[in-house]
Amino acid sequence: MQYKSTRNSELRLEASQVITQGISSEGGLFVPEKLPDISSELSDMAELSYNELASKIFKLFLTDFTDEQISYCVENAYAQEKFSGEPVKLKSLSAHDGNKHILELWHGPTCAFKDMALQILPYFLTVSLSKSAPNKEAVILVATSGDTGKAALEGFRDVPGTKVIVFYPQDGVSPMQKRQMATQEGKNVAVYAIEGNFDDAQAAVKKIFTDSQMKASLAEHNFMFSSANSINWGRLLPQIVYYFYAYFRLCKGEGLAVGEPINVAVPTGNFGNILAAYYAREMGLPIRKFICASNSNKVLTDFINTGVYDRRRDFYTTSSPSMDILISSNLERLLYALSGENSTVLSGWMERLSARGYYDVGSEVLAKVQDIFFGGCCDDSATAKAINSIWHNDAYLLDTHTAVAFDVYRQYVEATGDSNTPTVIASTASPYKFVSSVLGALKPLNIDDNDEYGNISQLEALTGTKAPSQLKNLRDKPVRFDVTIKNSQAASYVLKTLGIGE
Ligand SMILES: *Cc1c(COP(=O)(O)O)cnc(C)c1O
């Protein structure tokens, strides 16, 4: 299988090249030339373990990897000691208002779904580099507003042939996120706080990436920059697997017959997770409707309802911060598919978005979007209400992001009357990762956002659930990284970390 770009349909590259490169040179995103159709093989796949299923799907897409290389990636990424058992779990709720099945994607090292992709990307990347740039060491630079930085640190930690350096805004992450990064273990990791906000951290990283002198200094010492950001095909591909896995668990545990349709509801930010479900459908998984859930930053809800993508609006800081986003980059891949893979039309929309802040896909593409997508949104107070009601009705504790998806699924059932189709709701974080908001939803009292360990104990006592040990253990881990730097010092700290220069 080869890959082309959303903005250049003529391009053809191998999987290892698109994973190494991340983004196409004309600014487009890499997409498979043609998605494999495995609809006739579903029955045979139903009994596979998670890792077997992952290997089977990866082989279809990573055709310049050997079988041994794919096994190496899968076995290291989804190892028992990292995920304790099967990497994802499906829990079914007693169905009086809908047919709800929760796909828990947060059993990895950082308790959020980004682990599913960021645990395996480093292995995809080092295998890819061994083909295109042997003997080079990859330097991963990350600017983060919280979740991605920690997940990248854990993913790349002690992976041979890689170094990872994370910059986060000094005042832009939660106390728990700061602690997660400051106590990071591993011989190949470094973390710096940057004075300023997320945009300052991102600007610093972008500047380093494009600085030709930096590139030359690195090359001289056999290093090269690479990126782990969410548009890399190597982050999308691993997410396709768990939708198949969830479907087969429904067949086995809930009596679903192979071939019967399901819905999928996803709390959405950059549109990566839900796009992976769309690709699963294109490969033959019977998905009827994609329920795309946004928080108050409802740019996608408006898009699905009107066909106009418009980022010219206020940005809200919400209780589901990993979905606080106004540009959902991966939507470009969906629109490429729905516009008949017309890279000229697509490039026009994307140019319009960057020049004027909006684009309109027109009635034909809009009809295709609405045929399979339902879009809805949910503010912080409705998010808290959903956490409270699911806890009291189903004794299941939701995190804030997952709660947004629950509320929008409720809206979907109300709007369509479709309460029968089994619906897989992607649960993207442990409730303990956003403990202060979750506790506040159950118990409206004065909550000290900075006392996260006190809040963890309270939530455990109130619900009889247990916080993941990954979060609890951080309390006693020594701080390894406590340096705060100015934006302008970032480049020299990269060189220093790599042992280059002064
Ligand atoms: C990143 C993230 C999301 C959004 O996922 P996208 O793939 O960007 O749409 C949702 N929930 C949590 C907890 C996340 O970390």
pLDDT in tens, 297-324: 999 999 999 999 999 999 898 999 989 8
Q: Does a structural domain hold residue 291?
A: yes
**E-assigned strand segments in 3-161:** 3-5, 8-13, 30-32, 89-92, 100-104, 137-143
Q: State in Å: Cα 447 to ligand 1 middle.
A: 25
Query: Do 169 and 156 touch, CB atoms closer than 8 A?
Result: no
Say what the pLDDT of residue 147 is.
83
Q: Does a structural domain hold residue 331?
A: yes
- Residue among 121, 154, 233, 270 whose CB has most ligand 1 atoms within 8 A, to mutate: 270
Say what the pLDDT of residue 37 is.
98
Domains in the chain, number: 1
Average pLDDT rounded to a whole number, residues 487-492: 93
Judge if the beta carbon of residue 271 lies within 6 A of ligand 1: yes
Say what the pLDDT of residue 172 is.
78
> Which tokens is 255 given?
């009596």
Q: State in Å: Cα 119 to ligand 1 middle.
A: 15
Answer yes or no: is pLDDT of 226 > 90.
Answer: no
Residue 314: phi and psi, rounded to 5, are: -70, 150
Say what the pLDDT of residue 222 is.
94
Answer yes or no: is pLDDT of 168 > 90.
Answer: yes
Domain that residue 445 falls in: 89-108+244-468
| Terminal Cα-to-Cα distance of the chain (whole angstroms) | 45
pLDDT in tens, 258-288: 999 999 999 999 999 999 999 999 999 999 9
Judge if the beta carbon of residue 269 lies within 6 A of ligand 1: yes
Answer yes or no: is pLDDT of 217 > 90.
Answer: yes
User: CATH code at 376?
Assistant: 3.40.50.1100
Q: State in Å: Cα 222 to ligand 1 middle.
A: 34
Judge if the beta carbon of residue 238 lies within 6 A of ligand 1: no
pLDDT in tens, 171-181: 878 888 899 99
Question: Closest ligand 1 atom, CA of 402?
Answer: 11
Q: Does a structural domain hold residue 340?
A: yes
Q: Does a structural domain hold residue 22?
A: no
Question: Closest ligand 1 atom, CA of 429?
Answer: 13
Residue identifier of the C-alpha nearest atom 2 of ligand 1:
322
Q: Does a structural domain hold residue 413?
A: yes
Judge if the beta carbon of residue 120 lies within 6 A of ligand 1: no
Residue type present at position 498: L
Answer yes or no: is pLDDT of 97 > 80.
Answer: no
Answer yes or no: is pLDDT of 502 > 70.
Answer: no
Residue 373, H or E segment:
strand 373-377
Q: What is the mean pLDDT of the chain?
A: 94
Sign of CA dihedral 146, 151, 154, 155: negative
Average pLDDT rounded to a whole number, residues 487-494: 94
pLDDT in tens, 367-424: 999 999 999 999 999 999 999 999 999 999 999 999 999 999 999 999 999 999 999 9
Q: State in Å: Cα 113 to ligand 1 middle.
A: 7
Average pLDDT rounded to a whole number, residues 183-203: 91
Rounded CA-CA distance 379/190 in Å is 36
Judge if the beta carbon of residue 239 lies within 6 A of ligand 1: no
Question: Closest ligand 1 atom, CA of 114?
Answer: 15
pLDDT in tens, 21-76: 888 989 899 999 999 999 999 999 999 999 999 999 999 999 999 999 999 999 99
Q: Does a structural domain hold residue 373?
A: yes
Average pLDDT rounded to a whole number, residues 430-448: 90
Residue identifier of the C-alpha nearest atom 1 of ligand 1:
322
Q: Does a structural domain hold residue 306?
A: yes
209 pLDDT tier (thresholds 50, 70, 90)? confident
Judge if the beta carbon of residue 428 lies within 6 A of ligand 1: yes
Residue 195: phi and psi, rounded to 5, are: -65, 130
Q: Does a structural domain hold residue 64?
A: no
Judge if the beta carbon of residue 114 lies within 6 A of ligand 1: yes
Q: State in Å: Cα 130 to ligand 1 middle.
A: 30
Say what the pLDDT of residue 96 is.
67
Answer yes or no: is pLDDT of 154 > 60.
Answer: yes
Rounded CA-CA distance 111/58 in Å is 24
Rounded CA-CA distance 92/100 in Å is 6
Judge if the beta carbon of residue 4 lies within 6 A of ligand 1: no
Rounded CA-CA distance 59/38 in Å is 13
